[in-house]
Amino acid sequence: MNTDKTRAGDLEVSKLLSSSKKPLSAYDLLHGLQHGDTTKFKAPVQVYRALERLMKQGEVHKVASLNAFVPCRCAHHGTPPGFLVCTDCGTVSEFDAGSVERATKKPQDFVIAATNVEISGTCQKCLEKKA
């Protein structure tokens, strides 16, 4: 594996996610990356591998309810991210979900592998449009 190409590919994925105003699926990313001049992405598996590396580094998060990805925009300091998902416009806001995790009583004899906090509702901009 060529680490320079891997880093460059990860950077391309990260830049595309950061420039988007909405969460992007792996196929959205692939489509966007294939229209770039320097991209090496030819198949979805390459995008998924880049996303996996970026998620391990904490630079990208998956919004499970949308099956899409967003760049990390919040300092978690070892706590899980949470997401406010607007069901009207599709925007996603990130927050530190550590307080939610602490409020949940951990069951005995159970090791938590991952925490996923997603709250669906309507964002302020959409509420103002409706008023």
pLDDT in tens, 6-63: 788 899 999 999 999 999 999 999 999 887 666 678 888 999 999 999 999 989 999 9
CATH number of this structure's domain 81-130: 3.30.1490.190
Which pLDDT value is given to residue 24?
Answer: 96
Query: Residues with Cβ < 8 Å from 76, sequence gap 6 or more?
Result: 58, 96, 98
Q: 118: helix, coil or strand? A: strand
> What residue segments make up the domains of the chain, in order of their start?
3-71, 81-130
How does pLDDT run across 84-96, given as a tens digit for each residue? 999 999 999 999 8
pTM of the entire structure? Answer: 0.84
Q: Which fold has domain 3-71?
A: Arc Repressor Mutant, subunit A (1.10.10)
Q: Which of 107, 60, 101 is nearest to 79 (CA)?
A: 101
